[in-house]
Structure formats: C-alpha cells, structure tokens
Amino acid sequence: MKTIKFSIIFLMVMIISAYSCKNNKSQSEGLKEVKSSIAGAQMSPKKDTVYIEKKSNSGIMTGSPLDILKQNEKAIVTLFQEASPSVVFITTSVYQRDYWSRNVYEIPRGTGSGFIWDNDGHIVTNYHVIKDASKAEITLSDHSTWQAELIGVAKEKDIAVLKIDAPKEKLKAIKKGTSNNLIVGQFVMAIGNPYGLDHTLTTGVISALGREIQSQARIPIRDIIQTDAAINPGNSGGPLLNSAGELIGVNSAIYSPSGASSGIGFAIPVDVVNWVVNDILKYGEVRRPVIGVSMVAENYKRGFGVENGAIISSIFPDSPASKSGLKGMTNSSLGDIIISLDDKKIKNNTDLILALEKYKPGDKVQLTVLRNNKELKVDVILGSSN
C-alpha cells in the first residue's frame, strides 16, 4: 500500500514539474517576442524608406535596413559599372596662328562628355561642347585616345555627332530607353567627366518635365527633363540614365549663377536625340519639314501693327507655299500672317518652327492665315529642308 501511494505522489510531482517547465518556456518565448518587437520598432525605417523584402528558409519575408542599403548600393554600383564603358571624355582645341612668327599653334579649348551611340564608332555629345573647335579627341574608358571626325550638328537641339575609327571590341554602345513615359520622382543617374576627372557618377530624381531651355541657335528646346542629379561643368554631353541603365536624356545645362551644380540640371529627352541623330547619320544634317517661306523678324513685326502670328516675308520658288497659293509681302501689301497650323496656335516665328517639328516631309497640314484682315484656310503639303 505504501509503495502504491509513493508511486502516485512521484507521478504527480513529475506532472507538475513538466507543466511548470512548459509554462516558463512559453513566458520566455513571449518575452523574446516582446523584446524582438521593441527592437524592431527602434530599427524600423522611416515612412518614405523603400523596403526590399527577401525570403528566409522558412518562407517568411524579412530584411534589415542594412541589407536594404547594401542591396541598393550594389544595384547602383552594377549600373555604373555596366554603363560607364559607354561614356567618353572629349577634349577640344583650336588652331591659332602667331601674329609675328606666323606659326600655327594648337590651343586647348575645353572639355566635355559624350557617349558611344553604336558599334560603328559614332559619339553623341552636346553641340556646345565642340562649338568652334578645330579638333576633338575622344578618350575611351580604357584611357585610349582617338581623333574624332565631325559628322554633323543640330544647333537648335544642342546635339553633335562625332566618329572615331576605334576597333569594335573597344566600343560598347549605350543602351537606349524612351522618354515618353517618364514620371517626376523617378530615379536617375548622370555619368560624365566633370573638371577633366575620370568617370564620375551622380544620382538623383526627375524633378520636373516639360521644361524649356534656349539652344545655341536661339530656338527654344521644349519638353526638357529637369533633374536634381548634379551636372557640373564637364558633365555636358554625358548620358542621363534610368534605373535600368538605359539612356533617357543627354545632360545639357545647369541653372546656376555661380556655374556649379545647384540641384537644377537639364537633359534633352532621348526621343528627340533619336530622330536628330538618325537624320544626321543618314543625311549629315537634320531634315526638317518646311513650307518654303521666309518670315519677317520679330523685332519688326510690331512696326506693321501685328501682335500675334508669323508674317510671311517672301515665298521660295517651286516651294509648297508657292504651290498652295500663300502670299508674301509686296510694296503695297502685307504678306499672309500665319495664325495657326492645324489646331496649334501660332503667336510668333518660333511657334511655327516648333509646330512643324511634329510633322514629316510629305505630311499635309492646314494653315490658317490672315489676308487683308480675313481668315483663310490653306492646305499645304510639307517639303524637306534639303
């Protein structure tokens, strides 16, 4: 009987001990969970932090801010390493004859950036980088230097195309994207050679779209990309890239009274660069649709009592304008005043030039003109600037 009682007591003690251990373990796990949640709250990223999750072996999505930082850094480093071989350094010089000795000297003029357009050695940069230069040299990412040949320029778009005769294995063409789907806030990278240094990278976002800057031809370039990625002197002509490492613009200018980057940079959209470069490679120039007229200069327009519109000064022989019956100025009458092209209002000569950019030679447009204070509709088949 004593043996049975002892066995029952021993069994009850074992059950109580087991339950106590289990309860303590649950409390301990709960304590760890509380500590973990507190630590997580202390380490939690700010509201605007981009949090990249990853799967653990258990299938639960996890990731620390440090891991995220490393992942973002690796992505940027990879993009830079892939894109930088396509970016070149441009040095220009001019030839000048000494007044007394009559000897000709080569004088350094300036520096800039550019990028490899294709495997045939074509280099794209800004027109203002090579403007008035007698000679241009291209330095590739492997530090080899090649003399460049000028293929063509588009002053009104601040674009120039050069060519070097480098082996194809040294040429890595840049990846091209599109600029018709860009959004404000999108991540961008600018690569160039500011101040004559080796490849440098600056990052930022698209600050605004649809900006306008003045070209070297004094014709506005519209639909410009604005970015806060630093574009310092020497970055001009270099590429603006998206997060896929694709070209979306050509870095062209900064807004800064001091000349240094102030967080407002501008880039020419790649969609504009595409048609400009393709025309230059095909024709040696940009071929524009034209109506075949010369216009009265803006500073003389008010003298004729005209506030809005583009006044036709003269008509070129056998041009689209002459075939459509448009009239220029005579000794006794004012020429036709173009006030709209299709549905686009024309306030001045620049408006007419920019409106025509949307068309191709051979397209049919309808002009609305004022003739003797009466509106007329005139259909015109556009010609080519060649």
Per-residue confidence band for 87, with pLDDT thresholds at 50, 70 and 90: very high
Distances (CA, A) of 208 to 11, 264, 317: 78, 10, 44
Per-residue confidence band for 62, with pLDDT thresholds at 50, 70 and 90: low
Domain 289-384 has CATH 3.30.450.40: no
Q: Which residues are catalytic?
A: 128, 158, 236
Distance CA 358, CA 376 (A): 23
Does the pLDDT at position 371 exceed 70?
yes
Task: Please indicate whether residue 5 or residue 255 has the higher confidence score (pLDDT).
Answer: 255
Does the pLDDT at position 380 exceed 60?
yes
Arithmetic mean of pLDDT over the chain: 81
Which of 108, 110, 117, 236 has the alpha carbon at shortest distance from 166?
117
CATH topology match: 187-283 vs 289-384: no
Per-residue confidence band for 69, with pLDDT thresholds at 50, 70 and 90: low
User: pLDDT tens for residues 33-53?
Assistant: 333 333 343 434 343 444 444
Q: What is the pLDDT of residue 24?
A: 46
Average pLDDT of 231-248?
90
**What superfamily would CATH give domain 84-170?**
Trypsin-like serine proteases (2.40.10.10)
> Could you state, in order of their start, the residue ranges of all structural domains in the chain?
84-170, 187-283, 289-384
Task: Please indicate whether residue 21 or residue 242 has the higher confidence score (pLDDT).
Answer: 242
Average pLDDT of 320-349?
92
Distance CA 347, CA 359 (A): 19
The CA dihedral of 299, 304, 305, 308, to the nearest 10 degrees, is -60
Taking a C-beta distance cutoff of 8 angstroms, is the pair 101, 189 a contact?
Answer: no
Give residues with Cβ within 8 angstroms of 62, minimum separation 6.
53, 54, 55, 56
Distance CA 127, CA 131 (A): 6
Domain 187-283 has CATH 3.40.50.360: no
Does the pLDDT at position 344 exceed 80?
yes
Q: What is the pLDDT of residue 281?
A: 95
Average pLDDT of 134-158?
93
User: pLDDT tens for residues 171-204?
Assistant: 999 999 999 899 999 999 999 886 666 788 999 9
Per-residue confidence band for 260, with pLDDT thresholds at 50, 70 and 90: low
